[in-house]
Each structure stands twice: as C-alpha cells, then as structure tokens.
Amino acid sequence: MKKILFATTALVMAAGAASAEVAFSGYGRFGLMYNDMPAAGVSKTNITSRLRLQIDATTESDAGVTFGARARIQQTNGGAGTGINGVRFYAKAGGLEVGVGNIIGAFEGMDGQYPIDLGLTGLSYNYTAYGVGGADAYSSAGAGASLTNGVEVIYTVGDFKAHISASDTNSRVAGAFAYSFNGYTAAIGYQDSTALTDTEWTATFGGKIAQFGFNIGYAQAYNGFERWTLAGSYDVSDALNIEAYYANDTNTAFADEDSYGIDFNYDLGGGASFRGGVEKIFTGATQADLGVRFNF
C-alpha cells in the first residue's frame, strides 16, 4: 500500500512539474520557553513549538519573466500565529522584482536588521533596530499589507540593492538602500508615514572578520524614540556558534532602556540544530528558550 501511495505522489508531482514549479520547504521546532514575569495565570516555564510549511510556486514566461507566489501554513502551540497567511505575488526579471500583497517591506528586507536569530525562537527580536516603531513587514500568520494594499519594487545590481515599498497602512512609503564592499555592508532607510509611532529612518553597518561577525543598527520613530543595537557572533567551531546583542531604546513606556542576550547554536547535521538563548528585555523580564530546530 505504501509503495502505491509513493508512486501515485511521484506521478502527480511529475505531472505538475511539466508546466510550473512548486517547492515546499520549512522547519519544525520544539522545546521549552521561560519567562520570569509571565501573564496572569500563565506558568513561568512552558512548552514551545512551531511547524512552518512554506509553499513557493513559480512559472517562467516565454520572455524570461518569472511569475511567482509565496504562502505559509503555520501552527504554533497555543494557537497564536496559526493558519495560512496572506500570499505575496511577484514578477522578476534580471535584477528587478515587483511584489504585491503580503509584501516583505523595505525596512524588514533591509540588510542588517536581523543580524542574529537569538535562541530557539528569536525571543524578543529587540536586536532589530527598526522595531523602535512600525513598518510594513511580511506576516507569517496574517494578511500583512495584503489586508489593505501593499506593493514593492526591489532592484539589485552588483553590490548595490534598492528596495521601495508602499501600503495604505498609515499611507506608508519606505525606501532602503544597501551597498556591500570588502566583506562589509552599509544600509540606510527612510519611511514617510502619517503615524507618529512608525519608524522614520534607520541605518545599519556590519560584516565579518575571520570567525567574528558584527552589526551596528540605529533607528528613530516619528515620536522621537530611538533605538541603538549592537550584535555579534563567533564561530567557535564548524558546529558551534555563539551570538549576543545589546540594545538601548528610549521608549518611555518601557520599564528599562536596555535589552541584552546571548545564545548558542550547535549543528547536529542533516538540517537539525540544538539551540537556546537567554535575555533581559525592555519590560524588565528575563526570558529564555532551549530546544531543537530542524529544517526541511
């Protein structure tokens, strides 16, 4: 029976591949999450898990233009971030790409905004400078800018990259520009918005020297709040990597201006890794995670 099912699946996939390409990828993760200041009625230590299946469908026209769509099916324990998200559609030729729907967003796609991936879950992502305020970003479990209207243009030539995005959310228009040279990358971005809580501009600079990686980030929101970030990584061996960050945010709603953390990632082979991290965040809480992630 299993052989029949496998053969049938192979035939269906082969038939579909004749006209277009559909690729599946994603990851699973599971482990423990700790927070010493949990919400009322919630334990300090809990199971954390996620399964994400990413679907990429593409076809190429006779003129050589690639048309594609990306969607994600995701399940996170507790129900948060569960379901199929809004689709990002795009057309790409050479170094030019136009996307609509659940767009990436110029700030989210900007070099240096996600210099590390702390622990098993990413934890707070306080090391993301543009997080000082709001901006359009690809939503893994929601509609993103496709709920209103989202459009972006990305152009890459050599070591230069330009990314312009716009949406009806707060009438946002953002642009980010990056240039790479001698192993380093400098990037700057500006956003026009009608919301004081949105990020106005941001800049990053980073690179790698031998086994050491570093990144410096800055962002300012229209309300005047600022965030500085410093992130680093060190390759202890081919299998073990350590990452750390420090961030300072002037948002007066936070209990503390400082956030910092450290993690480890140990490669188990075959796309699997054992990882964990601990950090103190702007709310004053300490949180940590530990577990296994496997990519497929």
Query: What pLDDT, on a 0 to 100 scale, did the predictor assign at position 199?
Result: 98
CA 290 to chain centre: 20
Q: How many helices (H) and strands (E) does the chain have?
A: 1, 17
Residue 124 belongs to some domain of the structure: yes
Residue 272 belongs to some domain of the structure: yes
Rounded distance between C-alpha atoms, residue 94 and residue 81, angstroms: 34
Give pLDDT tens digits along the chain (296 positions).
333 333 333 333 444 444 589 999 999 999 999 999 999 999 999 999 999 999 999 999 999 999 999 999 999 886 666 789 999 999 999 999 999 999 999 999 999 999 999 999 999 999 999 999 999 999 998 999 999 999 999 999 999 999 999 999 999 999 999 999 999 999 999 999 999 999 999 999 999 999 999 999 999 999 999 999 999 999 999 999 999 999 999 999 999 999 999 999 999 999 999 999 999 999 999 999 999 999 99
In this structure, what CATH number is given to the domain that contains residue 88? 2.40.160.10
Residue 258 belongs to some domain of the structure: yes
Query: What pLDDT, on a 0 to 100 scale, did the predictor assign at position 77?
Result: 82
Residue 6 belongs to some domain of the structure: no
Residue 4 belongs to some domain of the structure: no
Q: Supply the DSSP symbol for 198.
A: B
Rounded distance between C-alpha atoms, residue 75 and residue 67, angstroms: 27
Residue 181 belongs to some domain of the structure: yes
Residue 2 belongs to some domain of the structure: no
Query: What pLDDT, on a 0 to 100 scale, did the predictor assign at position 121?
Result: 97
H or E stretch covering 73: strand 66-76
The tally of domains found in the chain comes to 1
Residue 158 belongs to some domain of the structure: yes
pTM, full prediction: 0.90
Cβ-contact 247, 225 below 8 angstroms = no
- Containing structural domain, residue 111: 20-295
Rounded distance between C-alpha atoms, residue 109 and residue 193, angstroms: 18
